[in-house]
Structure 1
Amino acid sequence: MNQQRARRGHEDDWWRQLYGDGEGGGQAAAGGVAGRAGVRTAGPSDAGPSDAPDTLDDRVESALRAVRAPAEPKPWEPPVRPAAPPPAPSTPIPLPATGPASRDTPPDTATGTPSDTAPDTPPSRTAGFVGDRPPTYDPEPGALPAADPGALDDLVPDTALDGARYGSLTLRAASQRGDSARYRGEVRRDALLTARFGAGRQALILVAVATPPPAAEGAHRAARDACAWIGDAVGRSYTQLAEDIRTDHRDALKSGLQRLTDRSYGKLRGRARELGAAPERYTAALRCLLLPADPDCRTRVFFGVGAGGLFRLRDGAWQNLEPATADHDTGDAPGSDGGPPRSAPGLAHGPNTAESPARPAPFLFRAAFARPGDTLLLCSAGLAEPLQEEPAFADRLAARWKAAEPPGLVDFLATAQLRVKGHTKDRTAVGVWEA
């Protein structure tokens, strides 16, 4: 009995020495372990009173935690963000309760059906416009045209901008997708080509503007082909054309340009047959300017086929230079004042004649002498129509472009895209300022 009690007392002493059950034993044991580990142990001045439980099980668990290997860190995970509240629905554009939709009213909006290509926000009312109220469409581009991954070279940018300066003339050119095409996500149909052939005083500048018929599938390709083929024809003959302009051989110039134009339209008809398209659909109105780089030559030559506009801004007023009759030379002789402003009737696309089987409309030609301070304007129907039909629009353009100093590219574009309700076609404008 005494031996069992003595053995139990010896085991209690051993546990007190190992786990510090008592002030002296605990410190000694801790010091021995820490000393072997090379770590400084806390003395009486380092540790304060502890409220931690002090049972045998607690101490065993503490020892196991001290020697247990550290756990592997958890992989990083992005924080969970709260879901954003759903956007508030856009306010619909108020429309008249009765009556037909206006010319530039989006068809889906007019019927009350939201369009999958319509912008999510209401049209901006801050862009420049003339008239008693702004146009319905948003002034900035909306939907992009659909793209075919196998024909990405068929895409056309919303806006094209170009310019140059040679001798006494400064050239500005811009072509922009119309409001209607922007809303529907359709491609710009107007085509614009600016090209220089030759160098120095012998160089000749060609500007071509082409507009296809409305609602023709793939018609923008016809407009681009028309510009490319007339450019190719003029480029191969530019030396003789430039000489005829400098020497004022207008009869030779006119007949030569008519042959080149007919040849280009013949290629368009051939391409239409290749594509299985109707020739009258795969075509385009084509209007061109020839501008000699020679500073001593101030003759400017216009030729083309189909609808559009040719105007001159002189002394702050617009003059319509559109040839009054088909195939008639109404050129201004050097030094003359030129004819008064006239209102030329539009040229309808009629049936092809025997004399010009390829052209959809009569050939147009005019050679005009440029005075210092003049501004010549060649444009597609999208700009010619509001210029002829809206006096406020014509006055605004005249006020901005009558300055002696030509506008910069951005300023020219900003003026050319001035909006008028009811006019939503593509717009292409070419301005030539004379110093």
Structure 2
Amino acid sequence: MSEQGARRGQEDDWWRQLYGEDDAEGGAGAGGGGAAGDPAGSRAAPAAGAPTGAGPADVGPAEASDTLDERVASVLRTVGPPGWGDRPPPQPTPADAPDRAAPAGDAPPDETPPRAAPTPPDETPTPGPVPPGEPSARRVPSPPPPPSEPIPLKATGPGARPRDVARTAPPPPPPPPPVQAVTYIGDRPPTYEAEPAALPAADPAALDELVPDTALEGAQYGSLTLRAASQRGDSARYRGDVRRDALLTARFGAGRHALILVAVATGRPAVEGAHRAARDACGWIGGAVGRSYTQLAEDIRADRRGDLKAGLQRLTDRSYGKLRARALERGGPPEQYTAALRCLLLSADPDCRTRVFFGVGAGGLFRLRDGAWTDLEPVATDHGTPAPLPETTRATDAPARPGPGLPHGPGTAEYPARPEPFLFHAAFARPGDALLLCSAGLAEPLRQEPAFAAHLADRWSTPEPPGLVPFLATAQLRAKGHAKDRTAVAVWEA
């Protein structure tokens, strides 16, 4: 016998001793039999030289059953749970078939086909065919398929269509360029800067005479909306001069009987104390109207224009008489301590739409209707004349009390009651109208610069009145050659 055959016989003896197979019939030896439930002769290989059945008695053990796989399967069938090691052994490859395969006539006809060794429990089982008669519970489950990419959700329905074939909307048009705020009218900007530069000089003993650069006011009563703004001109801002325009807005009374007064005054240019004269003119006319507001409000509601003109003229003359008296107290010429004065009276009664204007001196009165300006400046019919010299009594040497319309006090005989004609105008306002009262600093460019007037009309012809800040921004529109102080008072009718 060759060395290989001898080694194989020794291995067979070792396996028979392991499973206790001492006789050819598969009886139990001293070491115990096969695994429980396994029939005799179907688990272990037959002994060397012993007959296995109907085959020839001299046939030795088949080499096909003495493989490493069969040995592992045999161990697993013995010590493992039921069903382990029942798979057929893998078929030999062509390379090792001549060495490992047994002759066709050597295998016993009733021998159970060998089964493949199972996969160890710590490894993923490989799916394979299930032997006939094996219960379904012993089937090795197939491994789960590898995870696939998530399926994108798509809209379904009659109105759904793929995103890639959807109609693409045209790109939005580019935003319009930002609108540059119009700060001046003309081919080139004015000489002076738009913002304030120098502050007016202050007197530590008279700080109450300081005037702010800009004043802003607003109100709403019944069907009217009021906006008012007063500011220094470009030249005064550059030189540090005080604002010579004065603005007064006052309400007398309450409810439907209330009366609103707006007064605008401008002192003489290049005159010391011109801003004080403008402030005094507004204050004195405001006091006179406040003391007579009940009768004035009744005359306005009743549209008694003749009585209104006569009464307001007397109040205006008395105010200018006080200005002359103040000039004499200060030791200056009365013609210097004076101011142009323009006023509006507005009834708070929503059923009254009569607006009354009166005043003296330069300025403007305009109406904005349907986007167009109308100059309402009244024609002067009354010119100021010196008052007659009053008679005096020898006993008191006091001047007699002058007649209506003439103020009482020093300088009454020497100087006229007012420097210029008295102006009066009463107008009925329609819904949508805007009435503009202004000083000469705004009236001049409005009359002389068509582009200036068109810009103001465009900004103020809105369905709703502008706020205080937009109103001021429009009122301070600059034009070359017009650098005076300017004051604007606008009334919108709802």
Residue 368 (structure 1) aligns with: 427
The one-letter code matched in structure 2 to 1:234 is V
Rounded to whole Å, the distance in 1 between the matches of 2:329 and 2:224 is 41
Residue from 227, 237, 252 that aligns with 2:292: 237
Deviation at 1:351, TM superposition (A): 7.2
The one-letter code matched in structure 2 to 1:369 is F
Rounded to whole Å, the distance in 1 between the matches of 2:359 and 2:487 is 15
> In the alignment, is residue 165 of structure 1 matched against residue 224 of structure 2?
no
Rounded to whole Å, the distance in 2 between the matches of 1:285 and 1:148 is 26
Residue 287 (structure 1) aligns with: 342
The one-letter code matched in structure 2 to 1:154 is E
Rounded to whole Å, the distance in 2 between the matches of 1:179 and 1:427 is 10
Deviation at 1:126, TM superposition (A): 7.8
> In the alignment, is residue 141 of structure 1 matched against residue 193 of structure 2?
no
Residue 385 (structure 1) aligns with: 444
> In the alignment, is residue 429 of structure 1 matched against residue 488 of structure 2?
yes
* Per-residue Cα deviation, 1:122-154 (whole angstroms, up to 9, x for no partner): xxx986111101011110010000000110000
Share of identical aligned residues, percent? 80
Residue from 359, 375, 399 that aligns with 2:458: 399
What is the DSSP-based 3-state SS (H/G/I as helix, E as strand, rest coil) of the residue aligned with 1:239? helix
For 1:3-402, list aligned pairs within 5 A: 128-327=183-382, 352-354=385-387, 357-402=416-461
The answer (yes or no) to whether the contact 1:127–1:139 under 8 Å persists in 2 is no
More helix by share: 1
CA RMSD across the alignment: 1.4
Based on CA coordinates, which of the two structures has the bigger radius of gyration? 2
Deviation at 1:213, TM superposition (A): 1.5
The answer (yes or no) to whether the contact 1:352–1:361 under 8 Å persists in 2 is no
The answer (yes or no) to whether the contact 1:222–1:284 under 8 Å persists in 2 is yes
Residue 345 (structure 1) aligns with: none
What is the DSSP-based 3-state SS (H/G/I as helix, E as strand, rest coil) of the residue aligned with 1:280? coil
Deviation at 1:354, TM superposition (A): 3.3
Rounded to whole Å, the distance in 2 between the matches of 1:145 and 1:213 is 17
TM, length-normalised to structure 2: 0.57
Residue 62 (structure 1) aligns with: none
- Residues 144, 365 of structure 1: alpha-carbon distance in 2 compared, 3 angstrom cutoff: same
* Per-residue Cα deviation, 1:322-342 (whole angstroms, up to 9, x for no partner): 002334xxxxxxxxxxxxxxx
The answer (yes or no) to whether the contact 2:281–2:319 under 8 Å persists in 1 is yes
* Per-residue Cα deviation, 1:213-235 (whole angstroms, up to 9, x for no partner): 11111110000000000000000
Unaligned runs of 5+ in 1: 1-124, 328-349
What is the DSSP-based 3-state SS (H/G/I as helix, E as strand, rest coil) of the residue aligned with 2:292? helix
Rounded to whole Å, the distance in 1 between the matches of 2:364 and 2:287 is 23
Rounded to whole Å, the distance in 2 between the matches of 1:155 and 1:168 is 35
What is the DSSP-based 3-state SS (H/G/I as helix, E as strand, rest coil) of the residue aligned with 1:133? coil
Rounded to whole Å, the distance in 2 between the matches of 1:289 and 1:134 is 33
The one-letter code matched in structure 2 to 1:131 is G
The one-letter code matched in structure 1 to 2:352 is C
The answer (yes or no) to whether the contact 2:355–2:426 under 8 Å persists in 1 is yes
What is the DSSP-based 3-state SS (H/G/I as helix, E as strand, rest coil) of the residue aligned with 1:261? helix
The answer (yes or no) to whether the contact 1:135–1:420 under 8 Å persists in 2 is yes
TM, length-normalised to structure 1: 0.65
Deviation at 1:169, TM superposition (A): 0.2
Rounded to whole Å, the distance in 1 between the matches of 2:387 and 2:456 is 41
Rounded to whole Å, the distance in 2 between the matches of 1:252 and 1:412 is 34
Rounded to whole Å, the distance in 2 between the matches of 1:421 and 1:353 is 39
- Residues 364, 223 of structure 1: alpha-carbon distance in 2 compared, 3 angstrom cutoff: same
Name segments (4+ residues, structure 1) moved above 6 Å. none
How many residues are treated as equivalent by the alignment?
Answer: 289
Deviation at 1:404, TM superposition (A): 1.8
Rounded to whole Å, the distance in 1 between the matches of 2:352 and 2:435 is 15
Residue 91 (structure 1) aligns with: none
* Per-residue Cα deviation, 1:308-330 (whole angstroms, up to 9, x for no partner): 00000011100000002334xxx
Deviation at 1:352, TM superposition (A): 4.4
The one-letter code matched in structure 2 to 1:187 is V
Rounded to whole Å, the distance in 1 between the matches of 2:430 and 2:480 is 34
